[in-house]
């Protein structure tokens, strides 16, 4: 079901509460280190300002335990003000009489940023009274925080019970791209999954096996699949309790005619460190006291061939310990193959987005999701509370 967006509702002269995702990394001195999530929210904010709305922004930052000065949103407000080129009035509270006084005195075209939502215990508890207080600040609610859409919090789900709720442009873009992968993808549809554990991707693998044409597995999770093929994996990360499930997934793929590729060669080392001695070995020849830390060049070539000829590629999870240079090449080369693909390329947020950014290839992807956990749950086929709460186009 398609959801209404900010285009489908009158905002002129109205107080609009916008849930954004300004959960950005900060430098040791307390300034914004990476403003991508702030920039992603600009189209929605600028649309509202152009239509003379009174814009009330709310976001969380980090995982504070109560009120912690280091998680205040002041540096975010400063960076947003620079990007918008107009004043942003940062408040020191989330709700309460002082907040109400400020927002009710707002004029069209003004921007207010509430304090960190997680400073209030009612946010993560989806407390009804807190949700009512947030809703009471505005006449319209816009959710543009896809990265938080899988959480049933007061600011993502609760507030939508009390005022009209629609999607912002970033939320709309996320839904459009991820839905395209699940509903009617251009063929062949290739899924690339990495990261540490099979247990983190069970739902995604199960859902994608019935939809994709090829599934490529790398990262730490690959060694559980190699173990399921009867191979020794040395000291590589391996979830022994998931070996049978991994075997079942490969059998299901074969029965469905889905190409299921695991590494044929890997980069191994005695330890994951920049100084470690490393070498490339066949996947069936991992030394007993070594561990696999990246996919090898033959695997890169196999995976890249599938990616370059795909109609649509969804990638979530690095191919190795890319933060350490000796084990970064697999992830770098897969990112390069994505950049060279003729098809639609979707990067599933989190570490994968960070890797693509690090390798300078962000602008060559069709879409980079802002939500790692949210994109995974979406690709599992699960309903996300923050999306369910929005008005349907037909309503």
The DSSP H or E segment spanning 354 is helix 350-358
Euclidean distance between the first and the last CA atom of the chain, given in angstroms as a whole number: 11
The string of DSSP codes covering 303-324 is: HHHHHHT-SEEEEES-SS-TTS
CB atoms within 10 A of CB 120: 23
Compute the distance between CA of residue 21 and CA of residue 37 in angstroms, rounded to an integer. Answer: 6
Q: Which of 62, 109, 311, 373 is catalytic?
A: 373
Buried b (16+ CB within 10 A) or exposed e, 349-381: bbbbbbbbeebebeeebebbbbbbbbbbbbbbe
Tokens 């590589």 identify what position?
236
Asked if 321 and 331 touch (Cβ cutoff 8 Å), the reply is: no
SS3 194: coil
E runs forming strands in the chain: 15-19, 54-58, 89-90, 111-113, 140-143, 165-167, 189-193, 214-217, 259-261, 265-269, 279-282, 291-295, 312-316, 344-347, 367-368
Q: Which of 78, 197, 247, 364 is catalytic?
A: 197
**Catalytically annotated residue among 4, 15, 19, 37:** 37
Phi, psi of 186 (to 5 degrees): -60, 140
- Sign of the Cα pseudo-torsion (204, 205, 209, 210, in order): negative
Instruction: Please say if 373 is a catalytic residue.
Output: yes
Q: How far apart are CA 198 and CA 81, in angstroms?
A: 42
User: Is 37 noted as a catalytic residue in this protein?
Assistant: yes
CA 96, 150, 69 angle in degrees (round to 5)? 40
Kindly name the residue from 136, 168, 349, 350 that is annotated as catalytic: 350
* Catalytic residue set: 37, 197, 350, 373
């Amino acid at each position: 079901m398609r959801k209404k967006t900010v285009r489908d509702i009158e905002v002129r002269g109205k107080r609009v509460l916008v849930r954004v995702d300004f959960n950005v990394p900060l430098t040791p001195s307390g300034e914004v280190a990476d403003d991508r999530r702030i920039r992603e929210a600009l189209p929605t904010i600028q649309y509202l300002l152009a239509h003379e709305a009174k814009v009330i922004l709310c976001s969380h930052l980090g995982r504070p335990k109560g009120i912690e000065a280091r998680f205040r949103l002041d540096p975010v407000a400063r960076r947003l003000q620079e990007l918008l080129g107009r004043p942003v009035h940062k408040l020191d509270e989330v709700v309460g009489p002082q907040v109400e006084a400020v927002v009710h005195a707002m004029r069209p075209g003004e921007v207010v940023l509430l304090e960190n939502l997680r400073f209030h215990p009612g946010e993560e508890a989806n407390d009804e009274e807190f949700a009512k207080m947030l809703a009471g600040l505005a006449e319209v609610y816009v959710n543009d925080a896809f990265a938080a859409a899988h959480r049933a919090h007061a600011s993502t789900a609760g507030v939508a019970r009390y005022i009209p709720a629609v999607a912002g442009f970033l939320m709309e873009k996320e839904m459009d791209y991820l839905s395209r992968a699940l509903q009617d993808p251009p063929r062949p549809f290739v899924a690339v999954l990495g990261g540490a554990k099979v247990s983190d991707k069970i739902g995604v693998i199960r859902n994608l096996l019935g939809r994709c044409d090829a599934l490529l597995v790398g990262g730490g999770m690959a060694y559980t699949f190699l173990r399921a093929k009867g191979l020794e994996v040395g000291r590589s990360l391996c979830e022994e309790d998931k070996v049978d499930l991994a075997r079942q997934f490969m059998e299901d793929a074969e029965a469905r005619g889905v190409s299921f590729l695991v590494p044929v060669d890997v980069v191994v080392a005695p330890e994951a460190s920049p100084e470690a001695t490393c070498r490339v070995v066949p996947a069936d020849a991992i030394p007993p006291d070594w561990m696999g830390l990246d996919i090898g060049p033959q695997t890169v070539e196999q995976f890249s061939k599938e990616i370059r000829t795909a109609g649509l590629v969804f990638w979530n999870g690095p191919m190795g310990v890319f933060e350490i240079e000796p084990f970064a090449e697999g992830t770098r080369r897969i990112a390069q193959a994505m950049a060279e693909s003729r098809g639609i390329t979707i990067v599933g947020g989190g570490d994968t987005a960070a890797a693509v950014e690090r390798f300078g290839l962000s602008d060559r992807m069709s879409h980079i999701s802002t939500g790692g956990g949210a994109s995974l749950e979406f690709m599992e086929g699960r309903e996300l509370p923050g999306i369910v709460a929005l008005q349907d186009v037909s309503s």
